[in-house]
Amino acid sequence: MATIMNRQLFVLLARLALAGVFVTAALPKIEDPVAFASSVGAFRIIDSELSAWVALLLPWLELVIGLGILLPAIRRTSSILVGLLLLLFIALHLSAWMRGLDISCGCFGAETGEASADYRWLILRNLLLLGAVTLVHKQDRQNHNAAPR
Amino acid sequence: MARFFREISFIIAISVLGAAFSLFSGLAPLPWAEPGLAAGEIWPADARALQVIWIDARNEADYHTAHIPSAIYLNDEHWETGIIELMDAWLTQPRPIVVYCGSEGCGTSKRIAEHLRDTLPDAEIYSLKGGWDAWLQ
């Protein structure tokens, strides 16, 4: 019983951490989409017009799934989308690292003073978040399967 | 599966509504509009037209490979030596100072420009829009 309680507490903390990170990351980008578009463009994968579309839509998606991971009605899908986004970010950072790009992450907006990306730390951070989202998603699936139909 | 698609449609719809709010409230520019200058930035064409002091904030290897003629190499690792050279150039002939790094989103030029504004409050200091990539075009 105590093990189950501990596990549920751990999952709740992971859920809150993921929500906190995604909401905190989304708000400055919603506030300053021009700077975020510039950070997206720096990865040199898409052109500037597409970067502007990404900078417009992605922060709102991050905000909705960041809050959604706490809401029972959409938390399963939100956790899947959070996981997919984290995989995408890891792939983008790996790609930029391999190409030797000197860019700032832009992960929490492109505020002045942000240092050049430390790719090892960024990838490690996203892998930790991916671990947390796997835990959360597993719990959601268990709850879904155990729920009366 | 149907529930998954219902939820994903809901999430996408809310996100699109949010993006529409950003557009209509003026928070975000139209994505198809020409990109504008952020505060403290200067276009390469304008910087070329002015007689500016160039600051190269990229890494040492990039600087040695190629740099804007007479650019001073100054970044966090070479602050002490670079700042002396910059002060010397600026005090001899006060001109606008333009800092550049590798590309549009490298961030280093904005950071160095910010430090320089603290160090030389009387100087006119910009970061180059688009960085070295834009200079080459």
DSSP string computed for chain A: -HHHHHHHHHHHHHHHHHHHHHHHHHHHHHH-HHHHHHHHHTT-SS-HHHHHHHHHHHHHHHHHHHHHTT-TTTHHHHHHHHHHHHHHHHHHHHHHHHTT------BTB--TTPPPP-HHHHHHHHHHHHHHHHHHHHHHHHHHHHS--
More confident residue, B111 or A13: A13
Residue in B11, B27, B36 closest to A81 by CB: B11
**In chain B, domain spans:** 1-33, 41-136
At B26, list the tokens. Answer: 């003026």
Which residue on chain B is closest to A56 by alpha carbon? B19
Is the pLDDT confidence value at A4 over 70? Answer: no
pLDDT of residue A36: 86
Write the pLDDT tens digit of every residue in A21-62: 999 999 999 998 888 887 888 788 888 788 889 999 999 999
Judge: B29–A116 Cβ closer than 8 Å, yes or no: no
Owner of token pair 């790996």: A94
Of A74-78, A109-113, A139-143, give the lowest mean pLDDT range. Answer: A109-113
Give B36's contacts in chain A (Cβ within 8 Å). 34
Give B114's contacts in chain A (Cβ within 8 Å). 112-113
pLDDT of residue A82: 96
ipTM entry: 0.85
pLDDT of residue A49: 81
Write the pLDDT tens digit of every residue in A49-99: 888 899 999 999 999 999 999 999 899 999 999 999 999 999 999 998 898
Give A79's contacts in chain B (Cβ within 8 Å). none
Which homologous superfamily is B41-136 in?
Rhodanese-like domain (3.40.250.10)
Is the pLDDT confidence value at B128 over 50? Answer: yes
At A54, list the tokens. Answer: 């990404």
More confident residue, B111 or A19: A19
**Number of cross-chain residue pairs from A and B with Cβ atoms under 8 Å apart:** 118
**In chain A, domain spans:** 2-142
Tell me the nearest-neighbour CA distance from A96 into chain B, angstroms: 12
Of A101-105, B24-28, B81-85, B109-113, give the lowest mean pLDDT range. Answer: A101-105
pLDDT of residue A115: 57
Q: If pLDDT is split at 50, 70 and 90, which confidence band does B4 have? A: confident
Phi, psi of B27 (to 5 degrees): -65, -40
Evaluate if pTM is beyond 0.80: no
Judge: B31–A56 Cβ closer than 8 Å, yes or no: yes
Owner of token pair 């719809």: B13
Which residue on chain B is closest to A67 by alpha carbon? B11
Judge: B101–A114 Cβ closer than 8 Å, yes or no: no
Tell me the nearest-neighbour CA distance from A125 into chain B, angstroms: 20
Write the pLDDT tens digit of every residue in B15-57: 999 999 999 998 877 777 766 777 788 999 889 888 899 999 9
pLDDT of residue A112: 44
Torsion of CA A84, A67, A63, A31, to 10 degrees: -160
pLDDT of residue A32: 86
Give B14's contacts in chain A (Cβ within 8 Å). 60, 64
pLDDT of residue B108: 84
CB-CB contact of A24 with A109 (8 Å):
no
